[in-house]
Structure 1
Amino acid sequence: MKIADVRAKAFAMPLNNPAYPKPPYKFYNREFVVITYRTDPEKLRAMVPEPLEVVGDLVAYEFIRMPDSTGFGDYTETGQVIPVRYTTPSGEVQTGGYVHAMYLDDNSPIAGGREIWGFPKKLASPKLVHEQETLVGTLHYGSVLCVTATMGYKHREADMDAVLKGMKNPAFMIKIIPHVDGTARVCELVRYYMEDIVLKGAWEGPAALQLFEHVSCDVAKLPVLEVVKASHYIADITLGLGEVIHDYLKD
């Protein structure tokens, strides 16, 4: 294979059989259960990197079922998103979410999410199921239970406009790729948006959330002090590509 062929062919690893296809990635009937809880604000500030700013003491714990996603298949994801504020170089103030931790059960979106956007994804075993009148989410890391979440099933309809507005907010994460000598070669703050959103239904209800300590699954480092609210909604979306908004290696 010639050098020019490598350049033309290279998209993702492995060179001759990439772990995922090229974007865009579309998701149909994506099911979200989001439990918002109050935590220790000092611990939040220790987790969130500048130039993002923590805006309170809340964390959104999410379970997401993705039964039909182009390129990535059928999988489940869970993790924590922290509400933040970002001031652009022009002075515009954006509110959104800092993606702190993600755990999922499918290799392709782990590899693609980490390599393209910088999603902080790890391999684990999350589940989201309907048990009679209750939505039940669990996360096992190996054999160890790390999260249990329950929510009342469709107790009342949510404000669709408010849910849609929240889905349109930007999300932020840090993309890190090491150099061959072990130092950081890429360390960037990335912003992305959900696109082509078709919200099919949204509900609210009571919820409970328990987080358990694990050395490799650190969700309990942001402890649950009080559950504030819970949302359950279903939508079709396109996962928008990211943009670099801060390069930590240039400052």
Structure 2
Amino acid sequence: MTTTKVATGNNVPIQSPLFPDPFVPYECKNNRTITAVCRTDETVIKRYLEHTPFEYVDNTYIVTISDFGNCNKGSFLDCAIVIPAKYKDTVGGHYLFEYENEDFAIAAGRELWGYPKKYAELSMEEKDGKVIASAIKAGNEIIRLEFDLNSEVETLPELKLTPHLNLHTVPNPAGKGILYQNVIARDTTPDFQMKTTQQGTVSVKLGGDKTTPLEDLKPLEVLGGTYTVGDFYATEKNGWGKIIDRLK
């Protein structure tokens, strides 16, 4: 008779957890990221903050796609639209929309820290002097970034987008509404080790799907972008989130 070793963890199924427990620490060597710095009408940003506890800061935001293919807890890519926001005395970045291409990465980010991750097919490749990254959902390309490696942009506005300010939301299992919400701050940047970075021109295409109206965030102006390569670390000190407040 064979003996089955049953695992246990902090996420379901606890006998075979979807993401490793503990998830931190983890790392990704040679993490590649395209970031586009964009500007839109401030009324758009304010409208998306109305049902959150966060305050408006600026109408400049970023669209970013990052390759975590070398992550030691599992390979994935990440795509996000991040806006500046303020909670009480803390200014940081609020992840408005986010996509990933692996279920464990989606679950870990949502359940642990409240990142608003959904599924999309993500890709990043270097081709014809460009780094091209895209997000596809239900066969439609909803985000596309093209960074020109032969371009140069002298200055970009400095945005304060850390710590991440997330609204960790748990729905009510007994009916309508929300059981509770946590305001969570998280900042892994102190442990990131930059290898190369380049400022240049980047094109941005946004097109929503039925559940996410990304076209609302189509930039009025693309100010430029960056392409970075570095070693990402989520350490015991900085990889976990910090609960600032429980709202309900």
TM-score scaled by structure 1?
0.84
Please give the secondary structure, in 2, of the residue aligned with 1:214: coil
Q: Which residue of 2 aligns with 1:186?
A: 180
TM superposition shift of 1:170: 0.7
Structure 2 CA distance for aligned equivalents of residues 61 and 191 of structure 1: 20
Percent sequence identity is 20
* 1:220 corresponds to: 215
**Preserved contact between residue 65 and residue 128 of structure 1 (Cα < 8 Å):** yes
- Please give the secondary structure, in 1, of the residue aligned with 2:18: coil
Q: How does 1:230-241 map to 2 (within 5 A)?
A: 230-239=225-234, 240-241=239-240
Q: 2:128 matched to 1:126? A: no
Find the counterpart in structure 2 of residue 55 from structure 1: 57
Which residues in structure 2 correspond to 1:4-15 (within 5 Å)?
A: 9-15=8-14
Root-mean-square deviation over aligned CA pairs: 2.4
In the other structure, the counterpart of 2:244 is 245
Where does 1:193-208 land on structure 2 (aligned, <5 Å)?
A: 193-194=187-188, 195-208=190-203
Equivalent in the alignment of 2:70: 68
Q: Is contact 1:100-1:173 (8 Å) kept?
A: no
Higher strand share: 1
Structure 2 CA distance for partners of 1:233 and 1:166, relative to 1, 3 Å: farther
Residues 11-30 of structure 1: matches in 2 within 5 Å?
A: 11-21=10-20, 22-24=22-24, 25-30=26-31
Q: Distance in 1 between matches of 2:42 and 2:233?
A: 33
Contact 1:154–1:232 (Cα < 8 Å) also in 2: no
Give the alignment's TM-score, normalised by structure 2.
0.85
Instruction: Work out whether residues 147 and 212 of structure 1, in 8 Å CA contact, stay in contact via their aligned partners in 2.
Output: yes
* Shift in Å, 1:98: 0.6
Task: Point out where structure 2 has 5 or more consecutive residues left out of the alignment.
Answer: 1-6
User: Which residue in 1 is equivalent to 2:164?
Assistant: 171
Give the deviation of 1:27 after TM superposition: 2.0
Q: CA deviation at 1:153?
A: 1.3
Report deviation, 1:166.
6.0
**Aligned pairs (5 A) from 1:59-138:** 59-71=61-73, 73-88=74-89, 94-138=90-134
Shift of the alpha carbon at 1:217?
3.2
CA distance in 2, matches of 1:14, 1:154: 48
Contact 1:30 / 1:64 at 8 angstroms: preserved in 2?
yes
**Residue 68 of structure 1 aligns to a residue in which SS?**
coil
**Matches of 1:181 and 1:147 in 2, distance apart?**
36
C-alpha distance in 1 between matches for 2:100 and 2:197: 23
